[in-house]
Amino acid sequence: MNDFSQAFAKALQLIFQLDPALLEIIGLSLRVSLTAVFIASLIGLPLGAALALYKFPGRGIIVALLNAFMGLPPVVVGLVVYLILSRSGPLGVLGLLFTPTAMIIAQVCLITPIVAALTRQTIMDANDEYHEQLRALGAKASRMMKTLLWETRFSLMTGVFAGFGRAIAEVGAVLIVGGNINHATRVMTTAIALETRKGDIELALALGIILITLSLIVTSLVMSAKHAAYQYHS
């Protein structure tokens, strides 16, 4: 246990010294995952709402796929994105492999299903409650969708935060498509995996502490969003 407390002390030291290597890794992690969650929301929110409100051919298949993709292991997503972005793959000419863009793409694939599926559930529930009333007030379909998205904004935010939590904490996909290149594509999770492999526990632990802190922040944001949603409900 002495080893652990030593490693822990060193980890804290790294954090409070604002170690530049550490900051670079954290910065890239946030940049990649925030961008991914932003894009995933742009796709997932309207997609989920459309799936909840409109009937169209193929809807059942999309819903089944979304639910299946929600639990997909990140490595599988990483592998598929790798095969697509690889020079020998269909989008190889873009030269995106081993760049932050490739990592963003992989994370978007990973979390869009989460955002969309949670949005669909939320909007479906809200629609049960609001549909008749809005129709009786004279709201048209497009307006109804906008109203429902706004009315459920706090619940939807929990879905977006859940997506961010998954993105920032996953290692499998970004490792494969990013390559864990120092100063280029190394993020917190891949750095933790690497340092653990090297037996360099301090840096891994420092990154782990930051990751835990971040997910605590995200969790408390989720909880306050839920709280706000609840307050508006009661």
Partner 1 sequence: MLHTNIIANTNTINILPLQVKNLQIVKKGNLLLNDVSLNIESNDVTIILGPNGAGKSLLLRTAHGLEAPTQGSLKWNTTVPLPQQSWRAYIFQKPVLLRRSVRANLEYVLSLHDVDKNDYDSLINSALEYTGLSSLAERNARVLSGGEQQRLNIARAWILQPKAILLDEPTAELDPSGTAAIEQLIKTIAEQGTKIIMTTHDLGQAHRLANDILFFHQGKLIEHTPAKDFFKYAQTQSARDFIDGKLLTGSIEK
Partner 2 sequence: MKRTLIFILILLFNISIVYAKDEVFITLSSTTSTDNSGLLDYLIPKFKNKTGINVRVIAVGTGRALLLGERGDADLVLVHHKPSEEKFISKGFGIERRDVMYNDYVIIGPKNDPANIKHLKKAVDAFKLISQSGIPFISRGDESGTHKKERELWELTGVDIDAYSGDWYREAGAGMGATLNIANAMNAYTMSDRGTWLSFKNRDQLTLLFENDPPLFNQYGIILVSPERYEHVKHKEAKLFSDWLTSAEGQQAIADFTLEGQQLFFPNASREVATSVMK
Q: How far is the CB of 64 from partner 2 (least distance, A)?
A: 31
Binding of residue 147 to partner 1 (CB under 8 A): yes
Q: Is 55 in the site for partner 1 (CB under 8 A)?
A: no
Q: Could you tell me which stretch among 4-12, 74-82, 111-119, 128-136 binds partner 1 (CB under 8 A)?
A: 128-136
Those residues whose C-beta lies under 8 Å from the C-beta of residue 197, and which sit 6 or more positions away, are none
20 interacts with partner 2 by CB under 8 A: no
Give Cα 68 to chain centroid, integer Å: 16
User: Minimal CA–CA distance to 80: which of 172, 163, 191, 184?
Assistant: 172
CB 62 to partner 2: min, Å: 26
Instruction: Select from 8-16, 25-33, 103-111, 138-146 the region that touches partner 1 (CB under 8 A).
Output: 138-146
**Site residues (CB under 8 A) for partner 2, limited to 158-217:** 179-182, 184, 194, 196-201
Those residues with Cβ within 8 angstroms of residue 95's Cβ, 6 or more apart along the chain or in another chain: 87
Q: 232 is in the binding site of which of partner 1, partner 2, none (Cβ under 5 to 8 A by kind)?
A: partner 1
Query: Rounded to an integer, what distance in angstroms lies between the CA atom of residue 123 and that of residue 148?
Result: 7
Q: Rank residues 33 and 127 by Cβ distance to partner 2 and give the closer one.
A: 33
Of the candidates 188, 175, 193, 160, the one whose C-alpha atom is nearest the C-alpha of residue 45 is 160
Segment 112 to 151, residues that bind partner 2, using CB under 8 A: none
Q: How many other CB atoms sit within 10 Å of the CB of residue 32?
A: 24
Asked if 130 is part of the footprint of partner 1 (rule: CB under 8 A), the reply reads yes
Q: Decide whether 66 or 204 has the Cβ nearer to partner 2.
A: 204
Q: Which does 31 bind (CB under 5 to 8 A by kind): partner 1, partner 2, none?
A: partner 2
DSSP state string for 60-95: HHHHHHHHHHHT--HHHHHHHHHHHHSTTSTTGGG-
Residue with tokens 């508006």: 232
3-state percent breakdown (helix, strand, coil) of the chain, nearest 5: 80, 0, 20
Residue 202 C-beta: closest distance to partner 2, Å: 9
Query: Least distance in Å: CB of 9 to partner 2?
Result: 15
234 is in the binding site of which of partner 2, partner 1, none (Cβ under 5 to 8 A by kind)?
A: partner 1
Nearest CB to partner 1, comparing residues 17 and 133: 133
- Give dist(CA 64, CA 49) in Å, integer: 15
